[in-house]
A and B are shown apart, each in its own frame.
Chain A
Amino acid sequence: MQTAVSQAPSPKRSFLYDPNVRGIFYQVLLVAIVSYLFYAAATNAIDNLQRARIASGFGFLENTAGFDISQTLITFSAAGSTYGEAFVVGLLNTLVVSAIGIVFATILGFIVGIARLSSNWMVAKVSMVYVELLRNIPLLLQLLFWYIAVLGPLPQPRNSVEMGAGFFLNSRGLFMPRPLYASDVWVVFAALAVGIVATAVFRYWARKQQEATGRQYPVGLVTLALVLGLPVAAWVVLALAGANPISFEMPQKGTFNLQGGMQVLPEFVALLLGLTTYTAAFIAEVVRAGILAVSKGQTEAAGSLGLKPGQTLRLVVIPQAMRVIIPPLTSQYLNLTKNSSLAVAIGYPDLVQVFMGTVLNQTGQAIEVVVITMGVYLTISLVTSFFMNIYNRRVAIVER
């Protein structure tokens, strides 16, 4: 049989109506517009800078800075250091406060989040009040509160609070003994390294044993003994042998302030307290949501297997809750890092305070300084996300 209808020749469509051609056209157009905008912005900026005789380029990073910074993790002096080094000082200060803040906020956040679900009415309500209070007050106000109201009234150096063991507290910060290492200190550090390796081996062995025989070993105690005990033992042995591997430089009263020892600035403490307590309130909610997402049957099943409540939480609930917790937790870490730029309000020398404040003003090169600073925050955030995403993949549900 032959079909009566012959294959109609495909209608000659104008190529203007071809969706593929159109798609490509729009993409090319967008790229062209974006490139033009960048080109126009850049050439216009260069033109204007030249016309206004404003210095440009990144050469300024090698000029002598000429100012001092209160907290420096690398050697920095007004005499010899450059704007580039001032940038590094600011960056390190930002990283330090963010890293410590993230650790503390995570610990505090988990405690508060779990406590909010406690069956103890008092504990649950105290956690609720903490969360609602801290996350609903602007962070800037909290920082000023910690700095001015909490740390401000500390006594003057001449009336420092003596906390024993060489620790002092006054309006200039917290002072503590500075460890001074002698040349034979390597023995102590070697003992520490051995302790850490031995712990890892023991933990691995204990897990295998438990899987094979069901017998449990006191992993926590052994870890403590190996990691802390070994170095202390090495130190004691050295001290008995007459060597003195670690001595301490104690803070001494000077004309104005305590001299020597280590000093933690009140600006740092205020910023750390503010960032930690504020972010912990958000993390607590993330943790609470994560735990509530694990079905009640899991807890009941764990209970019927004879696990204690603590074990249930640690071994059954939290590992499953982590899948829900990690993505929003990453956002909170990023927020904490970015919020650390509020340091500028309380005089903590972070990247924004040092670089966007003093350096920008001394050099007048606003565009370069702002671009570098934006690039740094973007990089820090992307790196944090990258590692959190790897971790997320590890705890994510494995579908079989």
Chain B
Amino acid sequence: MKKALVSIAFGLTASLFATGASAQATLNSVKQKGFLTCGSNTGLAGFGVPDAQGNWTGLDVDLCRAIAAAIFDDPTKVRYIPLAAKDRFTALQSGEVDVLSRNSTHTMSRDTQLGLDFPTINYYDGQGFMVRKSLGVSSAKELDGASICTQQGTTTELNLADYFRANNMKYEVVAFATSDETFKAYDSGRCDAFTTDASGLYAERLRASAPDDHVVLPEIISKEPLGPAVRHGDDQWADIVRWTHNAMLNAEELGVTKANVDQMKTSENPEIKRLLGSEGKFGEAIGLTNDWAYRIIKNVGNYGEIFEANVGEGSRLKIKRGQNALWTKGGLQYGIPIR
């Protein structure tokens, strides 16, 4: 017993001291390590998924690559840590990852009680349902009495309870720890419906044994602003993540792309000059070099480019820009000015 106590004490102290050390100056520790650790999805097509060679792709992955590009001028200096929904915030709190870029919804309680900050929103989403066509269901309002598969530890799980309660319908929830287990259970017929963010529904449908047998219902039952999260209290690090996304948005708005970024360097447009670092010292202000945004665009691309490549028309998901179009085109993505 005494031995056990001592080892518990040692374990606790070791882990707690470790937390203390990494709670500040994330940028320095990333530079020291020489790579960024990025908490990513265990596998969600279009957002964060490894291929057979272990190369990660996706919209959330590209954000990590962009951060690495801004710091190291090399988007490959990222180590991805796949995290299940229920483990993701603990991994970030404990310092296991530097940034969590894993389609996580920004909510008030996560922002204020979990010791996290959500610097920006890189995808506006909402929760939906998918069912088998053979059920003949055309609206989520008809799901009274259905079994529904969902991933635990998500806002999805909570919205589901709210929605059925508000509509006075009964349901049976079957919650699994990972998205993989959840979808497999739905696909094997354990549940009538599968629920997650709409983007996730389209992504997961591709993995179904017969994708055409499933239909996504029209209702969107929640707001899901998805974005990267960092530990609370390291403002410099939060700034880097926030401005990485904003640099990609501004680049799209100004027409700066991966292909033309070198020519754009000679542009006389003051906004482009500030973005690419030929005017002002914006990079130094966040602890980076002044060509930080140039590095991001050169190595990864602007927001429109990564959207199209990962989830848009150029990808298997074929999701429309919709809410994620630039504000100038009727969407919600609004690049905060660099000046």
Which A residues form the contact surface with B (CB < 8 A)? 30, 34, 37-38, 40-41, 44-45, 47-49, 51-55, 66-70, 77-79, 148, 152, 156, 171-172, 254-257, 259, 266-267, 344-347, 349, 353, 357-358, 360-364, 366
B95 to chain A, nearest CB (A): 10
Distance A78 CA – B184 CA, assembled complex (angstroms): 25
User: Given A53-B232, A148-B188, 16 more contacts at CB 8 Å?
Assistant: A37-B9, A44-B16, A45-B16, A48-B16, A67-B173, A68-B160, A255-B144, A257-B172, A259-B145, A346-B181, A353-B152, A357-B177, A360-B86, A361-B87, A361-B152, A364-B115
Within the complex, the shortest CB–CB distance from A260 to chain B, in Å, comes to: 11
In the complex, whether B6 has a CB less than 8 A from a CB of chain A is yes
Say yes or no: B162 contacts A66, CB within 8 Å. yes
Q: Give A360 to B94 CA distance when docked, in angstroms.
A: 14
Question: Which of B57-112 touch A at CB < 8 Å?
Answer: 85-90, 93-94, 109-110, 112
Main SS class of interface, B: helix
Whether the Cβ atoms of A347 and B112 lie closer than 8 Å is no
Q: When the two chains form their complex, are residues B115 and A54 in contact, meaning their CB atoms are under 8 A apart?
A: yes
The 9 closest A-B pairs by CB, nearest first: A361-B153, A78-B161, A54-B115, A364-B114, A52-B115, A37-B9, A41-B12, A55-B113, A41-B13
Q: Once the chains are docked, how many angstroms separate the CA of A358 from the CA of B173? A: 13
The one of B2, B13, B172, B231 that contacts A37, using a Cβ cutoff of 8 Å: B13
- Supply 26 A–B pairs (Cβ within 8 Å), ascending by A: A30-B2, A37-B6, A37-B9, A37-B10, A37-B12, A38-B9, A40-B13, A52-B23, A52-B233, A53-B115, A66-B162, A67-B158, A68-B173, A69-B175, A77-B165, A148-B188, A171-B190, A172-B147, A172-B172, A256-B145, A256-B146, A256-B192, A347-B185, A357-B177, A364-B115, A366-B93
Q: A75: shortest Cβ distance to chain B, in Å?
A: 14
Determine the chain A residues whose CB is within 8 A of the CB of B143 once the complex forms.
256
Is the Cβ of B23 less than 8 Å from the Cβ of A51? yes
Q: Say yes or no: B162 contacts A344, CB within 8 Å.
A: no
With both beta carbons as reference points, the residue of chain A lying nearest to B157 in the complex is identified as: A67
User: Is B174 part of the binding interface, using a Cβ–Cβ cutoff of 8 Å?
Assistant: yes
Cβ contact within 8 Å between B181 and A53: no
A54 touches B93 (CB 8 A): yes
Known contacts: A79-B165, A152-B190. The answer to whether A349 contacts B175 by CB under 8 A is: yes
Interface centre among A48, A68, A156, A256 (most CB of B within 10 A): A256
Q: How far is the CB of A63 from chain B (nearest CB, A)?
A: 10
Taken together as a complex, chains A and B put the C-alpha atoms of A53 and B181 apart, in Å, by 33
| Contact assessment for A364 and B113 in the assembled complex, using a CB-CB cutoff below 8 Å | yes
Which residue of the partner chain, among A48, A78, A346, contacts B20 with CB atoms under 8 Å? Answer: A48
A78 to B89 alpha-carbon distance, docked (Å): 22
Point out which of A40, A79, A345, A364 has the most chain B C-beta atoms below 10 A from its C-beta: A364
Q: Contact between A364 and B161 (Cβ–Cβ < 8 Å)?
A: no
Contact B231 A34 (CB under 8 A): no
The smallest C-beta distance from A125 to any residue of chain B, in angstroms, reads 35
Nearest B residue to A52, CB-CB: B115
